[in-house]
Homo-oligomer: A and B are copies of this chain.
Amino acid sequence: MSIIVHKYGGTSMGSVERIQNVARRVAKWHAAGHQVVVVPSAMSGETNRLLALAKELSPQPDLREQDMLVSTGEQASSALLAMALIKQGTPARSYAGWQIPVLTDGAHTRARIRSIDDVRIRADLDSGRVVIITGFQGVDEDGNVTTLGRGGSDTSAVAVAAALGADECLIFTDVDGVYTTDPRVVPEARRMNVISFEEMLEMASLGSKVLQIRSVEFAGKYHVPVRVLSSLTDPMIPVEIEMVSGTLITFEEDKKMEAAVVSGIAFSRDEAKVTLRNVPDTPGVAYSILGPVAAANIDVDMILQNISLQGMTDFSFTVNRNDYVRTLDLLKNQIGPAVGAGEIVSDDKVAKVSIVGIGMRSHVGVASLMFRTLSEEGINIQMISTSEIKTSVLINDKYMELAVRALHKAFELDQASIQPED
């Protein structure tokens, strides 16, 4: 008997009717002989409703209390799903994170899972119940409720699957899989049947919203087979069809057969770039600049330091656009004076476009095709960042869609798949 974990997002849980559909789908898998664990998100809108109440009370609510508050959303949706299943004749029981427990560290609003006790889950599964576990939340060693941060329900589901050694973790969402790029930007975008773990990791970190990056990391660490598929299809389609639909994130490269050099194109508009001009090029200057930025909990993405000219250099980096104002403040009032920098130049109208593909490892000329394509479209590249399996460029954000479409075509991602389509 296989153990299957289902994860449903807020849209899938967004109304009584949708919860009933989720219950039908879960009951179908249960009836097919699988042991099923479900990890639901809060009903769509609920987390934002609660956060809005908090913000009315305090612009920066106490984080412990914020976790107490927003964690109620998943507890409610989980209980509602259990009711729907029981009503449909499928034994079920819901658990909040602390009841399992899902043990995390104490970092409120961005906690990390440390361990998941499987005793209660297995006992319920063995007695024939569907087990429902609140996504997004856990409990720390002192019994405080914690949350994993936005999108954390994906991570919860993968972590539960890892703890149980589940056969597969099915992430049901409002898209039917992972695409070569966002179909809203490139209508010719194709769904991939299979994507390698490494590629998915890059796609997630580069702005693809399909899966939260930490859930992909978790899947990688524990080798959990994850499948992304649509919750909007008829809940009564056979289990066998759902088992091969969507996109499977795999750890076996040969499953991909003759993989394309480039698998997908990711992009993000949430970028901002800052440059410190005329920084004295002394040892430790990078740390002097980025240390305080990290201390302020601002994530830095691309970093670029030009070669030195007369002992002075320009130092650029990108941050999330939400952190732009804070970063500028920090540079102007603290870091700039401290390192003796000149002018500060900044731009929050930039976007990052990335090509991702495990095949890039062994193929030369991939980056140059990217640069040539952008050049032919007259798009100036502001920064470049590379890894083994991706190349990212920073460009003016008004050219973002144009760049994505041109690259999608240049790398022939709109062509009939060379992956087997079964």
Which A residues lie at the B interface, using CB under 8 A? 16, 19-20, 50, 53-54, 56-58, 61-62, 64-66, 68-69, 71-73, 75-76, 78-80, 82-84, 86-87, 93-94, 96, 98-99, 143-145
Inter-chain CA distance A62–B98, complex, in Å, is 21
CB distance from A141 to the nearest CB of B (A): 13
Could you list 21 A-B pairs, sorted by A, with CB under 8 Å?
Answer: A16-B53, A16-B56, A19-B57, A54-B79, A57-B80, A57-B83, A58-B83, A58-B86, A61-B86, A62-B86, A65-B79, A66-B79, A68-B82, A69-B76, A69-B80, A69-B83, A71-B75, A72-B72, A72-B73, A72-B76, A98-B98
Further pairs besides A68-B75, A68-B96: 13, Cβ < 8 Å? A54-B83, A61-B87, A65-B79, A65-B86, A65-B93, A66-B83, A68-B78, A68-B94, A69-B75, A69-B76, A69-B83, A72-B75, A99-B144
Q: Which residues of B contact A83 (CB under 8 A)?
A: 54, 57-58, 61-62, 65-66, 69
CB distance from A305 to the nearest CB of B (A): 42
Are A84 and B64 interface neighbours, CB within 8 A?
A: no
Inter-chain CA distance A75–B144, complex, in Å, is 13
Q: Which residues of B contact A84 (CB under 8 A)?
A: 57-58
Pick the residue among B50, B68, B99, B145 that contacts A143 (CB under 8 A).
B99
Inter-chain CA distance A155–B171, complex, in Å, is 43
Are B87 and A65 interface neighbours, CB within 8 A?
A: no
Query: Which residue of chain B lies nearest to A82 when distances are taken between CB atoms in the complex?
Result: B65
Are A65 and B94 interface neighbours, CB within 8 A?
A: yes
Are B79 and A20 interface neighbours, CB within 8 A?
A: no
CB distance from A139 to the nearest CB of B (A): 9
Pick the residue among B20, B72, B80, B144 that contacts A54 (CB under 8 A).
B80
Are B143 and A87 interface neighbours, CB within 8 A?
A: no
Q: Which residues of B contact A76 (CB under 8 A)?
A: 50, 53, 68-69, 72
CB distance from A413 to the nearest CB of B (A): 43
Q: Which residues of B contact A62 (CB under 8 A)?
A: 82-83, 86
Query: Which residue of chain B lies nearest to A93 when distances are taken between CB atoms in the complex?
Result: B64
Inter-chain CA distance A68–B97, complex, in Å, is 12
Q: Which 5 pairs across A and B sit closest by C-beta, in order of nearness?
A: A72-B72, A68-B79, A69-B79, A58-B87, A65-B82
Inter-chain CA distance A72–B50, complex, in Å, is 12
Are A16 and B64 interface neighbours, CB within 8 A?
A: no
Inter-chain CA distance A145–B94, complex, in Å, is 11
Inter-chain CA distance A65–B72, complex, in Å, is 13
Q: Which residues of B contact A78 (CB under 8 A)?
A: 68
Inter-chain CA distance A172–B61, complex, in Å, is 26
Residue picked from A19, A71, A72, A78, most chain B C-beta under 10 Å? A72
Query: Which residue of chain B lies nearest to A67 when distances are taken between CB atoms in the complex?
Result: B79
Are A53 and B65 interface neighbours, CB within 8 A?
A: no
CB distance from A75 to the nearest CB of B (A): 5
CB distance from A212 to the nearest CB of B (A): 24
Residue picked from A54, A62, A144, most chain B C-beta under 10 Å? A62
CB distance from A109 to the nearest CB of B (A): 13
Q: Which residues of B contact A54 (CB under 8 A)?
A: 79-80, 83
Inter-chain CA distance A32–B224, complex, in Å, is 57
Inter-chain CA distance A72–B79, complex, in Å, is 10
Inter-chain CA distance A75–B75, complex, in Å, is 11
Residue picked from A80, A82, A83, A145, most chain B C-beta under 10 Å? A83
Are B20 and A57 interface neighbours, CB within 8 A?
A: yes
Q: Which residues of B contact A82 (CB under 8 A)?
A: 62, 65, 68
Query: Which residue of chain B lies nearest to A71 when distances are taken between CB atoms in the complex?
Result: B75
